[in-house]
Amino acid sequence: MGMIGGGIGAFIGDAHRRASRICNDYELVGGVFDPDFERNKKFAASEGIDPKRCYETVDALIKGEKALPPERRIEVVAIVTPNAFHYPFAKSLLNAGFHLVCEKPMTMTVDEALDLEKSVAEKKLTFALTHTYTGYPMVRQMREIISKGLLGTIQRIDAQYYQGWINSIIHGTESRITGVWRLDPKQAGVSSCMGDIGVHAFNLIEYTTGLEVKEILSDLSSVKDDVKLDLDGTVMLRFGGYLKGVIRASQVCGGEENGITIAVYGSKASLKWAQENPNYLYMLSDSEPTRVFKPAHGYNGKLAETGHTMPAGHPEGIYEALANIYRGAARSIRGEAYDKAEFPTVHDGVRGMKFIHAVVESNRMGNIWMKI
């Protein structure tokens, strides 16, 4: 495995490396960890990377690795840069025949997303988009329960993603390096809140239910005069028929840490899950006691049980969720059998970009319905 981005101080790159080690199907052997070559080299050294494989640019990496014999060459590259670089780097790497693990949002525009989708199809490569929350066992169990029809007719869907960390930046009580690029349209794209976190909630809905959102209507807020992107918003959802729903996302909910939740309500039963307590899945019904599903039990489906060996009651966390996605991608790269729900794909990336752009456009046009 190689990595683009994720150098000194980048928490998401660290998470990717840990996850790749947990699942034990990868070895980090090279990369471009930082646009600053000195910092890049310093970081590579700290990770024990062969200095020859610490490249100055993505092009250099492609060239360098191509020059190696296939059995020593990087097979898969993880892209964990700011959003604006996802597309050009992914495009180059796909063209050069590398499998990819890519952070979300996948691109800056819908066209870029569609273009990547085309490249992946043409090159027959594996492309795993790290909507990390789909790696949690209980999210996977949720998908399984719904796919079996145990909820009856789905009647309402409600997802939330509330954080508060941007408060310290916009209100000036703290200055965090990781926060800066997300508020810059050139690096982050058309949206902050919806692009960074709202899209996770959107993905979680489509992942767990297997349904597609058909139309959205949004109302966004930048919260302060000097902020150029949305930091907060509500998105109404329509799925066709009577089914409606809502996504609520915000980066200014002071004290919320990483509050992504999903509830899917059906005519027979309902399911609720919250990321901060990821090992609990609640199944509600009008006539039976609520049932609480947990990992490492025989009552769960295979997809939920694929990633752990510890008995029940030994909590798994975010790193294990990401490792489950890495594991699925590894199976795909090796040509082994795998469940398509084991990792989000470039198509999820296309859906996400359509969502982000529709949400921004709906808000800009005065809160009207937009198809996605």
Q: Which of residues 235-274 bind a second copy (CB under 8 A)?
A: 236, 238, 242-246, 248, 250, 252-259, 263, 265-270
Sheet of strand 76-80: strand arrangement: 30-32, 2-5, 76-80, 99-102, 127-129
Tell me which of 51, 70, 309, 340 binds a second copy, using CB under 8 A: 309
**Residues between 312 and 331 that touch a second copy (CB under 8 A):** 312-320
**Residues between 53 and 82 that touch a second copy (CB under 8 A):** none
Binding-site size for a second copy (CB under 8 A) equals 90
Q: Does 283 contact a second copy by CB under 8 A?
A: yes
Tokens, residue 138: 């209980």
Considering beta carbons, is residue 21 or 73 the nearer one to a second copy? 21
Considering beta carbons, is residue 126 or 160 the nearer one to a second copy? 160
Q: Does 290 contact a second copy by CB under 8 A?
A: yes
Q: Does 15 contact a second copy by CB under 8 A?
A: yes
**Residues between 182 and 241 that touch a second copy (CB under 8 A):** 217, 219, 221-224, 232-234, 236, 238
Q: How many residues does the chain have?
A: 372
Per-residue contact string for residues 100-139; x = within reach of a second copy by CB under 8 A = ----------------------------------------
Nearest to 94 by CA among 59, 120, 60, 128: 120
Cα separation values, 18 from 11, 125, 172, 192, 275, Å: 11, 23, 32, 26, 19
Tell me which of 16, 17, 331, 354 binds a second copy, using CB under 8 A: 17
Q: Which residues contact 283 (CB under 8 A, 6 or more apart)?
A: 145, 269, 270, 271, 290, 291, 292, 293
Tokens, residue 51: 């200095």
CB distance 226 to 183 below 8 Å: no
Per-residue contact string for residues 137-176; x = within reach of a second copy by CB under 8 A = --------------xx--xx-x-x-xxxx-xx--x-x---
Tell me which of 275, 324, 332, 345 binds a second copy, using CB under 8 A: 275
Shortest CB 308 distance to a second copy, Å: 9
Give the C-alpha separation, 177 to 181, whole Å: 8
Q: Which stretch binds a second copy (CB under 8 A): 78-86, 201-209, 291-299, 336-344?
A: 291-299
Shortest CB 59 distance to a second copy, Å: 29
Q: Which stretch binds a second copy (CB under 8 A): 89-97, 116-124, 287-295, 335-343?
A: 287-295
Give the C-alpha separation, 105 to 22, whole Å: 24
Considering beta carbons, is residue 108 or 372 the nearer one to a second copy? 372
DSSP 198: I
φ/ψ bin of 347: left (φ > 0), alpha (ψ from -120 to 50), beta (otherwise)? alpha
Considering beta carbons, is residue 160 or 209 the nearer one to a second copy? 160
Q: Which residues contact 147 (CB under 8 A, 6 or more apart)?
A: 210
Tokens, residue 362: 């709906």
CB distance 214 to 359 below 8 Å: no
Tell me which of 11, 59, 66, 371 binds a second copy, using CB under 8 A: 11
Q: Does 91 contact a second copy by CB under 8 A?
A: no
Considering beta carbons, is residue 114 or 263 the nearer one to a second copy? 263
Tokens, residue 268: 């027979």
Q: Does 334 contact a second copy by CB under 8 A?
A: no
Pairing type for strands 370-371 and 244-250 reads: unpaired
